[in-house]
Amino acid sequence: MTSQRSIDDLRAEIDQINRELLTLMSKRGEVVALIGHAKTQEGRPNHYDPAREEQQLRELEALNPGPFPASTIKTIFKEIFKASLALEESNDKKQLLVSRKVKREDTVLDIDGVRIGGNEPPIIIAGPCSIESEEQMEQTAAFLQGKGVKILRGGAYKPRTSPYGFQGMGVDGLILGSSVAREHGQLFITEVMDTRDVEVVAEYADILQIGARNMHNFALLREVGRARRPVLLKRGLSATIEEWLYAAEYILSEGNNEVILCERGIRTYEKWTRNTLDLSAVALAKQETHLPVIVDVTHAAGRRDLLIPLAKAALAVGADGIHIEVHPSPATALSDNEQQLDFAGYEQFHAALSSMMRVATPA
């Protein structure tokens, strides 16, 4: 009479087999990683090899001693192949510095006491599209200071669709913008368009702006990556979210971790707005990266009547701030007349948003 083995005894044997399977799986994974590495070395980025999989399955089917049917063996091994492929490919993909996988906690910028990102209250970046005159900058900065705005914008180098449009005041604009901002206790942000100008712009600006049209200018991204100034990186007009994040990666890869992402609308078939504000990009950028993300409502909408609802929506999806253009007299502005707010318009914007922004109006 054969003595029947107890369930506990059989389970102990199963546990032991599991451990052996796990050891074999790990061993297999290590060999797979070596193959992936060799393929990459040989310049063969495509790791998927259906013919090789088919060959392995045929051999396993032929060798299968049972009790599992061939279809079950096939299903199990197909899962193993899938996991192995993921392993081979993951070794190819470098973890991005912008990714939350590399840095879990939010990056919080502290630019001379102005904090952006993380759990900080959302910030406002405001000012005219272009720097045009001392009077224009002085009036705007004084007005915005009264509204608690800590970051003054103004373009000294303007990316214009037409080469005959106003191109900006250049270095004179930089000097004007930075001195007016300083007088009003504000930081100065301005766009840099050319690698040759990074040094001089960084001398005057507290934050360097990379405009939408230059998001793919890799030489410029590398250059601002080497500058000792925070960078606001606009999303390109037709850039995917991935391309935008890779553009940020260029800056971080040069050692500059102080990057603010800025969604400013993308070009679509829609004509009633200048661009289409992509709020899912804001939510995704917040989720996938640790960087602060702000929303430029002015260039997204291209029209004044949408600025308040779009800014509210941006904050609702988690934006760390709003970028908006304000001009003492938009009708006579040298660029973007259609969309800049005048002071009365900004009063309304401020009143509608201040509870969400928690911007204190100085006494």
Contacts with ligand PEP by CB under 6 A lie at 129, 155, 159, 191, 211-213, 234, 264, 296, 299
Shortest CA distance to 177 belongs to which of 156, 193, 149?
A: 156
Q: How far is the CB of 336 from ligand PEP (least distance, A)?
A: 8
- Cβ distance to ligand PEP smaller for residue 110 or 338: 338
Six token digits for residue 311 = 């800014």
Rounded to the nearest angstrom, the gap between the alpha carbon of residue 252 and the centroid of all alpha carbons in its chain is: 12
Residue 230 binds which of ligand PEP, Mn ion, none (CB < 5-8 A, kind-dependent): none
Residues in 113-172 at the binding interface with Mn ion, rule: CB under 5 A: 129
Q: Say which entry of ligand PEP, Mn ion, none residue 206 contacts (CB below 5 to 8 A, set by partner kind).
A: none
Q: Using CB distances below 5 to 8 A depending on partner kind, what does residue 223 bind out of Mn ion, ligand PEP, none?
A: none
Find out whether 251 and 233 touch, Cβ atoms under 8 Å: yes
For residue 100, the partner it binds in Mn ion, ligand PEP, none, with Cβ less than 5 to 8 A by kind, is none
Q: Which distant-in-sequence residues (6+ apart) come within 8 Å of 70 by Cβ?
A: 61, 64
- Least distance CB 334 / Mn ion (angstroms): 10
Report the C-alpha gap between 292 and 7 in whole angstroms. Answer: 57
As given in the structure block, the two tokens for residue 149 are 């705005």
Gap between the Cα atoms of 118 and 263, Å rounded: 17
- The one of ligand PEP, Mn ion, none whose footprint includes residue 320, by CB under 5 to 8 A per kind, is none
Per partner kind, with CB cut-offs from 5 to 8 A, the member of ligand PEP, Mn ion, none near residue 311 is: none
Beta carbon of residue 144, minimum distance to ligand PEP (angstroms, whole number): 16
For residue 234, the partner it binds in Mn ion, ligand PEP, none, with Cβ less than 5 to 8 A by kind, is ligand PEP
Residue with smaller CB distance to ligand PEP, 91 or 273: 273
Q: Which is nearer to ligand PEP, 132 or 296 (CB)?
A: 296
Q: Output the smallest distance, CB 325 to Mn ion, in A.
A: 5
Q: Among residues 206 and 336, whose Cβ is nearest to Mn ion?
A: 336
Our CB check for ligand PEP shows the closer of 36 and 128 to be: 128
> Minimum CB separation from ligand PEP for residue 284, in Å?
19
Instruction: Decide whether 246 or 346 has the Cβ nearer to Mn ion.
Output: 346
Q: Least separation, in Å, of the C-beta of 298 and Mn ion?
A: 6
Provide the mask over 299-338, with x wherever binding to Mn ion is found by CB under 5 A and - wherever it is not: -------------------------------------x--
Partner whose footprint covers residue 159, from ligand PEP, Mn ion, none (CB < 5 to 8 Å by kind): ligand PEP
Quote the least distance from Cβ 155 to Mn ion, whole Å: 7
HEC sequence for the chain: CCCCCCHHHHHHHHHHHHHHHHHHHHHHHHHHHHHHHHHHHCCCCCCCCHHHHHHHHHHHHHHCCCCCCHHHHHHHHHHHHHHHHHHHHHHHCCCCCCECCCCCCCCCEEECCEEECCCCCCEEEEECCECCCHHHHHHHHHHHHHCCCCEEECECCCCCCCCCCCCCCCHHHHHHHHHHHHHCCCEEEEECCCHHHHHHHHHHCCEEEECHHHCCCHHHHHHHHHCCCCEEEECCCCCCHHHHHHHHHHHHHCCCCCEEEEECCECCCCCCCCCECCHHHHHHHHHHECCCEEEEHHHHHCCHHHHHHHHHHHHHCCCCEEEEEECCCHHHCCCCCCCCECHHHHHHHHHHHHHHHCCCCCC
Cβ 212 to ligand PEP, closest distance in Å? 4
User: Which of Mn ion, ligand PEP, none does 264 bind, CB closer than 5 to 8 A by kind?
Assistant: ligand PEP
Give me 276's structure tokens. 């289409």
In whole angstroms, the minimum distance from the beta carbon of 246 to ligand PEP comes to 18
Q: Which residue is nearest to ligand PEP (CB)?
A: 211
- The residues of the shown chain that bind Mn ion, judged by CB under 5 A, are 129, 336
